[in-house]
């Protein structure tokens, strides 16, 4: 192994350590800000509220832990969706719309067609992929910014899904009594993702193997991005589209594929959520885009777009969110957890800047050291 290879490996290790440290610093500062806010609202109960947030699902174990795992699975997928697009130079703000279409695919195949859960999950993936491909096509062939197209299709998707599910109150998916979609447990139990004993373990009704499916997909995405030619081509297009085109890479095809895969990941997230029975779709109340789709953005930022990091970032965000739900409503609102997450994400925007400055300083020190070594070697040679 030559010296240049060793130096590159050292730089990669330093970069990874800095990324982890920067994210941890952001988390600590965000939590401290949350503590200050709690003190400003009610100083007497601030420490109790803060401890509940820190404990998260462990505050009400084992049920709380099961709730965290059920919320983490779809969050991993939406985080992967945003992170995958980031890696290829695109901003997938349309994860919420793709998630919505994924929910339609999963629920239609489950409630109407009575398909097994894995078929419903594939349907969710295909519906999400289709909705993700549209901004990709506009970006690749018409040079329309993917952010604009994705935002527009978020709302188109939401109201289209509501209309399809509601269907004048006489549809096969809508329950007029509860004003929600029909429950999978009563309508199509075979469409529910199996729990493999997790519900008994955590004393819940919605903790399934979805968390393991999400983790496996995250590992696959990591391998695709970092260990395959296809992943290299996608990243090359993201770094420099013109250079990639000059190297013979089809940039338009890769842009469309990137957004399609991102959409598929969001769709799977919706499938994991609704097929686990965590919630039902309510078209009368769902006049806002699903928060799970937008929460993928902070997860991806906190993980610095690393697919493995997304797993831990999603666990953290779910942990804090569930902990916020245990705050005593007499004194605090559960949205305080969202404020903490927002502060952390705001700080994460500076992580890349901080990381770049430190790495540049390290590189400059190495250059000076190498220059001094060369000068001393030349001096010794001249003396001899």
**% pLDDT > 90, the chain:** 58
**Of all helices (H) and strands (E), which one includes residue 375?**
helix 351-383
For 72-125, what is each residue's pLDDT tens digit?
A: 999 999 999 999 999 888 999 999 999 999 999 999 999 999 999 999 999 999
CA 17 to chain centre: 21
User: What is the phi-psi region of residue 300: left when phi exceeds 0, alpha when psi lies from -120 to 50, beta otherwise?
Assistant: alpha
Question: 56-62, long-range: CB within 8 Å, 24+ apart, which pairs?
Answer: 56/318, 56/319, 56/320, 56/322, 56/323, 57/318, 57/319, 57/322, 57/323, 59/323, 59/326, 60/326, 62/201, 62/202, 62/203
Exposure of 235 by Cβ count < 10 A (0-12 exposed, 13-18 middle, 19+ buried)? Answer: middle
Q: Kindly report the average pLDDT of the chain as a whole number.
A: 87
pTM above 0.85, yes or no: yes
**376 has pLDDT over 80:** no
> Which of 131-140, 241-250, 350-359 has the lowest average pLDDT?
350-359
What is the per-residue DSSP string for 12-24?
HHHHHHHHHHHHH
For 245-283, what is each residue's pLDDT tens digit?
A: 888 889 999 999 999 999 999 999 999 999 999 999 987
Q: Which tokens sit at 305?
A: 């777009």
**368 has pLDDT over 90:** no
For 294-349, what is each residue's pLDDT tens digit?
A: 999 989 988 888 999 999 999 999 999 999 999 988 888 888 888 888 888 777 76
Q: What's the pLDDT at 192?
A: 97
Determine the topology of domain 17-358 in CATH. ABC transporter involved in vitamin B12 uptake, BtuC (1.10.3470)
**382 has pLDDT over 70:** no
**Whole-Å CA distances, 141 to 134, 269, 363, 370:** 11, 28, 40, 48
- CA 68, CA 328: separation in Å to the nearest integer? 19
């Amino acid at each position: 192994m030559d010296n240049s290879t060793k130096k590159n490996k050292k730089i990669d290790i330093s970069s990874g350590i800095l990324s982890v440290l920067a994210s941890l610093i952001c988390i600590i500062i965000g939590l401290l800000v949350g503590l200050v806010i709690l003190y400003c609202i009610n100083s007497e109960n601030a420490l109790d509220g803060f401890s509940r947030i820190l404990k998260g699902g462990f505050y009400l174990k084992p049920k709380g832990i099961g709730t965290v795992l059920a919320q983490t699975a779809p969050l991993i997928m939406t985080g992967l969706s945003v992170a995958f697009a980031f890696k290829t130079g695109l901003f997938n703000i349309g994860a919420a719309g793709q998630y919505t279409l994924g929910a339609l695919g999963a629920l239609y195949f489950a409630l109407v067609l009575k398909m097994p859960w894995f078929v419903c999950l594939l349907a969710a993936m295909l519906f999400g992929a289709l909705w993700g491909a549209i901004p990709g096509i506009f970006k690749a062939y018409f040079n329309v910014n993917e952010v604009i197209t994705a935002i527009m299709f978020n709302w188109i998707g939401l109201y289209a899904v509501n209309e399809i599910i509601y269907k004048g109150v006489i549809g096969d998916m809508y329950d007029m009594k509860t004003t929600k979609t029909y429950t999978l447990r009563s309508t199509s139990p075979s469409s529910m993702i199996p729990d493999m004993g997790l519900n008994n373990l955590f004393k819940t009704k919605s903790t399934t193997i979805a968390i393991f499916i999400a983790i496996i997909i995250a590992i696959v995405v990591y391998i695709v991005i970092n260990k395959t030619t296809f992943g290299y081509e996608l990243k090359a297009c993201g770094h420099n589209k013109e250079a990639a085109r000059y190297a013979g890479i089809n940039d338009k095809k890769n842009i469309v594929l990137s957004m399609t895969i991102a959409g598929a990941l969001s769709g799977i997230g919706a499938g994991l959520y609704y097929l686990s029975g965590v919630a039902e779709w309510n078209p009368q109340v769902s006049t806002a885009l699903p928060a799970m789709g937008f929460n993928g953005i902070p997860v991806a930022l906190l993980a610095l777009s690393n697919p493995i990091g997304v797993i831990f970032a999603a666990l953290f965000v779910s942990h804090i969110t569930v902990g916020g739900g245990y705050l005593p409503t007499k004194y605090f609102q559960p949205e305080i957890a969202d404020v903490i997450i927002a502060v952390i994400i705001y700080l994460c925007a500076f992580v890349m800047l901080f990381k770049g400055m430190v790495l540049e300083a390290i590189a400059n020190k190495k250059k000076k050291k190498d220059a001094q070594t060369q000068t001393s070697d030349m001096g010794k040679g001249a003396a001899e």
